[in-house]
Structure formats: C-alpha cells, structure tokens
Structure 1
Amino acid sequence: MEPSNIVLVGFMGTGKSTVGKTLASRLGWKFVDTDALIEERQGMSISDIFATAGEKAFRDIESETIAITLDGTRQVIATGGGAVLAEQNRKVMQARGWVVALTADAETIISRVSQDQNRPLVQGDVKERVHTLLETRKHAYDFAGKRIDTGSLSVEEIVAEIVAAMPN
C-alpha cells in the first residue's frame, strides 16, 4: 500500500522544498511547504514570527500546521528544519506518512544557506550556527524511514531514489 503522504524532513538547506516540488510533480501529488503555509496563514515571514512572538510560539504554530496538513493525502510535505524537534510532530509524521530525511554535510549546507536572510536560526555567524545546530540535531532525523545525502546528487537523482524506495 503506497504511503498516504511523503514527509520530507532534514536540516535547513538539504533540499526539502526543491526536492519536494519535483517529487510531487512526478507522483501527480500536491506539494505543501509547511513554512510557506505558516507564512501565508500568519501574514508574516518566519523571521518576523520569531522576532515578534518568539521561537516557542512559532513551534506551536508549526505543530498545528503539520497536524492539519497531514490530515490530507497524496501530498509531498516539506517541513521546516526544526519540525522534528517536537515528539508530537515526529509521531504524527510517522502515523500519517512515510518520512524521508534529506541530509548534507556542514559545508554543503553553509554554501546553500549563507546568502538567505530568511533563516532566523542562522543569523550572525552562519558557519558557527550551522555547526552548532547540526551537532544538537544529529540524531533528530533518525526516526525517518529513509535517509538520503543530497550533497552530491541532482534533484532528479534524489527523486528517483525516493520513488524507488517508496513502500507499496
């Protein structure tokens, strides 16, 4: 039986949104980026939510958004990098979808995110923040059913690997 949803998890800059769009197109499924959905519903950027309400308020909104989104089916869902930190999110992801973790080494991530001003957790010294966050989250994605290192693969290669590994 094919999964009702595919949930992409992973550190920022590992390719969740880029891979998710291509994967959804290939499967004929809907693509949902939970960060984009949060920004649309809240009427402000993630950075602004962090600045005005704080990380805890953002994480609460994120958990609610993930749970509501996972009520649907035939979706490829790209989650925010820190979404896996809450146990309730991990549980609902596993219960209502097949979880795929996208990974990359620190240097790849730094090169991908260093120019992006919309990432509140890497403001300031990007290298130091990425290394610190990677260390604190090194086991956060272990619950995923599949792991793919996106560092040296093209989007098409990653999508092909996910499709080939899909439970059926």
Structure 2
Amino acid sequence: MRNNIVFIGFMGSGKTSVGRLVAQRLGFQFVDTDAVVVERAGMQISEIFARHGEPWFRDHETSALSSLSILNRSVISTGGGIVLRPQNRALLQELGFVVWLTASEDVIFERVSRNKKRPLLQTADPRRTVHELLEQRHDLYQGTAQFTVNSTELSHEAAAEAVIAKARKAFSW
C-alpha cells in the first residue's frame, strides 16, 4: 500500500475540506479527482453532465483515478460516485488508506443544498434523490473503506485529527 490517504464519501461529507487539512498537517500533496477531470475536460462538472452525460463523466473520473497510481505521500479526495464502478473500488484500495467520510442524511442535505450546481440533484425532489443515492452507495463505501469517520458532529479539524491518528497506525509512521 502506498503512503496515500484516499477520501471517499457522499457529496457534502467534507472530503475536500478535511482532505486539505490532512494534507497540510502531514505535508502531503492534495489532489481532488473532480478537479483533475475539470482540468482535463476544460469545463465544470455541471457542464460535463449537461453536454456529455454521467457515463462520459464516469469514464473520465476512472481515467483520472488511474493516473494517480504514481502518487505517494498524497491525500486524494474523490467524487461521491467514484465507488459505483468495481474497477474504481479496486484502484482506490491500491492507492492507499481509504477513509469513508460520512455524515447524517440531514446534515448532508443541508450542506449540498447550498450548491445549486450539483448535477445529480437537479431533480424534482432533491431530498429524495439524496436519500436514494445514499442508500445505493452505502454498502459500496463501506466495502471499500478501511476506516470510517462520521463528520456529522465533528469540526473539520477534529475529523482531520481522527484520520491522521488512524493513518499513522495503518502506515506505522
């Protein structure tokens, strides 16, 4: 296993915010797979979904994840749906220590409601969509992660400290 920490979890769980803190505290590089896809595609995720659809995005997400296999001493934040493909779940585990950052459904909905550009929530009932997606992905997150942090009542700092403490044990740092 490489000395990377990989964050998975639903949109709004805090993967990017907590991931940046972990990277900063450990002196690691921070990489966000969504940012890699956006950079390579030359357009925002909402535009990718509108122009090309979710399958195109998922193909490019897998490509971005594959390209990160050379990394070491990095913190990698992933998109919420990255666990949908079995190939990605295997890649995530090869990349390093996989952390599932989760939160209660209410907290997640409150957080994701702030951003009106989330393509998967452009539905008649975004609250129901969040519920259904969380149910659909729960076992995939659980089966991929080596450690779970529930961020519902934790600050980003407290969540980052929990991840760092567990990673130190996993890597014997």
Residue 38 of structure 2 contacts residue 45 of structure 2 at CA under 8 Å; is this kept in 1? yes
Contact 1:70 1:93 in 2 (8 A): no
Give the alignment of 1:143-158 within 5 angstroms: 143-158=144-159
User: Which residue identity does 2:78 align to in structure 1?
Assistant: T
- State the Cα distance separating 1:81 from its structure 2 match: 0.1
Note the C-alpha offset of 1:106: 0.8
Query: For structure 2, which runs of at least 5 residues remain unmatched after alignment?
Result: none
Q: Aligned-pair distance for 1:96?
A: 2.1
Alignment partners' CA distance in 1, 2:138 and 2:17: 22
The residue identity in structure 2 corresponding to 1:8 is F
Is the contact between residue 29 and residue 75 of structure 1 (CA under 8 Å) also seen in structure 2? yes
RMSD between aligned alpha carbons? Answer: 1.2
Give the Cα–Cα distance (whole angstroms) in 2 for the partners of residues 81 and 158 of structure 1. Answer: 18
The corresponding residue for 1:81 is: 80
Trace 1:1-168 onto structure 2 (pairs within 5 A): 3-124=2-123, 125-142=125-142, 143-166=144-167, 167=170, 168=172
Give the TM-score normalised by structure 2: 0.93
| Percent identity for Structure 1 against Structure 2 | 46
Shift, 1:40, TM fit: 1.3
Bigger drift between 149-158 and 124-133 goes to: 124-133
AA at the equivalent of 2:127: K
**How far has the Cα of 1:3 moved from its partner?**
4.4
Indicate the SS of the match to 1:70. Answer: helix
Q: How many pairs are equivalent?
A: 167
Q: Partners of 1:3 and 1:67 in 2: how far apart?
A: 14
Deviation digits for residues 86-111 of structure 1 (CA, Å, limit 9, x no counterpart): 11111111112110000111100010
Distance in 2 between residues matched to 1:146 and 1:70, nearest whole Å: 20
Give the counterpart letter for 1:136 in structure 2: Q
Structure 1 residue 138: Cα displacement: 1.8
Conserved 8 A contact 1:102-1:149? yes
CA contact (8 A) 2:83 2:137 kept: no
Q: Please tell me whether the aligned partners of residues 29 and 76 of structure 1 are also in contact (alpha carbons under 8 angstroms).
A: yes
SS at match of 1:141: helix
Which consecutive aligned stretches of 4+ in structure 1 deviate over 4 angstroms post-superposition? none
Distance in 2 (alpha carbons) for counterparts of 1:20 and 1:37: 15
Is the contact made by 1:108 and 1:151 (CA closer than 8 Å) also made in structure 2?
yes
Distance 1:103 1:93 in 2: 17
The question of whether the paired residues in 1 share the 8 Å contact of 2:16 and 2:32 is answered with: yes
